[in-house]
Structure 1
Amino acid sequence: MSQHLVLSFIGEDKPGIVERLSEVIARHQGNWLESRMAHLADKFAGILTVSVPLAEQDNMISALQSLQQVGLYVRVETAQASGSESSTLSLSVVGNDRPGIIKEVSQVLHSLLVNVNELTTSCEPAPMSSEMLFKAEMVLSVPASLPLSELEAALENISSDLMVELSVNQFG
């Protein structure tokens, strides 16, 4: 029997971080399932899911946490299965950059019991001007009982300068 674990980590960005993590996971018969990692400022951070035999779980967690000695900080959480009925879709938000956009979007999503599965954001210059554009790409789990028209209307009510696009077909 095995346990799924979610690991989050951060450390100084330098060669060998992924190799160190994968070595510890493999040494304890863990299976690397999925991950998202990125260079942010001068750090390398990520999150990943692994499965590990129950007999190796505690030893693997200890070995991962001992990576702190080399400047890699790892947090481990036990993953729980989700049983809710929902559909998955993508959401794109684009607008003039200003403080609070993610706060406003996340408040709407929370009020409708929509869960954010993935979130990627960026700021970049708008074509033809020096204004900065804020862009967010999300993958959402939407309750089956929520009409998509209600979700779209709630998001569009945030601000007239935000463009909102929902895509259902991409994630079926």
Structure 2
Amino acid sequence: MKKLFIASVVGHIAPGVIKSLAEVTRRFDGEWVTSKVIKLDGHFCAMMKVAIKPEAEDELKSCLVSEFDGLHFIFEQVLVNSDSVSSSLHLSVDCGDRSGLTRDIVNILTNLDLVIEHMEFNRVHVSTIGQTVFSSRLNLAVPEGVSTESIVELLEGVTYDARVKVI
């Protein structure tokens, strides 16, 4: 039986770095169950859920750190707590921007005990209307007993012009 762990890596973007990380993982008979990569201003951050034979885990981690000395690694055990999660919910939130908006959205989700699986926030100044527009995409794990309608209603109340769409 394979063991699961999360590998997080941060560093400067270099050609083929993600491919090289995957090749090293395969060299130890490991596999990425899932992965996420974000690139921003010449840097990247990647998270991989790795499945590997327990006896190869420490050797793989040591090899990653030594072969990619310019990258920063964090390794964590997978936390499995899916008992209370009944469904996934994908939302978009669009509105005029204001100070504290991201914090208010995160507080609403946290107070509902929702697990934020992915969130992306963007702000764009629109000169034709003379204001900055806020747009976000959220992927949430929703526990039993919390309705989609209540989540949408609370998020629409975060500001007067908020539009929330289930996608």
The question of whether the paired residues in 2 share the 8 Å contact of 1:94 and 1:164 is answered with: yes
**In the comparison of the two structures, how many residue pairs are matched?**
166
**Structure 2, unaligned runs of 5 or more:** none
Tell me what 2:30 maps to: 30
1:116 Cα shift? 0.8
Deviations 1:108-129 (A, max 9, x none): 1111111111112222344843
Over 3 Å counting, the alpha-carbon distance change for 1:58 and 1:117 in structure 2 is same
Q: 1:163 to 1:4 in 2, by over 3 A?
A: same
Query: TM-score, structure 1 length as denominator?
Result: 0.86
Determine what percentage of the aligned residue pairs are the same residue: 25
Q: Residue 53 of structure 1 aligns with which residue?
A: 53
Q: Is the 8 A contact 1:67 1:73 kept in 2?
A: no
Kindly report the root-mean-square deviation, in angstroms, between the aligned alpha carbons of the 2 structures: 1.8
Q: 2:21 corresponds to which residue?
A: 21
> Match for residue 2 of structure 2?
2
Residue 60 (structure 1) shift? 0.9
Aligned to 1:74: 73
CA distance in 2, matches of 1:62, 1:39: 25
Determine if the alignment matches structure 1 residue 132 to structure 2 residue 132. yes
Task: Give the corresponding residue for 2:162.
Answer: 162
Report the TM-score when normalising by structure 2: 0.89
The superposition leaves residues 9-49 of structure 1 with CA deviations (integer Å, 9 ceiling, x where unpaired) of 11111212112211220111101221111221120221111
Give me the whole-angstrom Cα distance separating, in 2, the residues matched to 1:80 and 1:98. Answer: 35
- Partner Cα distance (1:15, 1:99) in 2: 37
CA distance in 2, matches of 1:19, 1:85: 33
Runs (5+) with no aligned partner, structure 1? 168-172
Partners of 2:19 and 2:87 in 1: CA distance: 35
- C-alpha separation in 2, matches of 1:43 and 1:149: 38
Q: Deviation string for 1:112-152 (max 9, x for gaps)? A: 11111111222234484353222110111111111322222
- The farther-off stretch of 113-122 and 143-152 is 143-152
Partners of 1:127 and 1:3 lie apart in 2 by: 52
Match of 2:95 in 1: 95
Q: Secondary structure at the match of 1:161?
A: coil
One-letter amino acid of the counterpart of residue 41, structure 1: D
Q: Distance in 1 between matches of 2:84 and 2:128?
A: 45
Runs of 4+ in 1 over 3 A off after TM superposition: 125-130
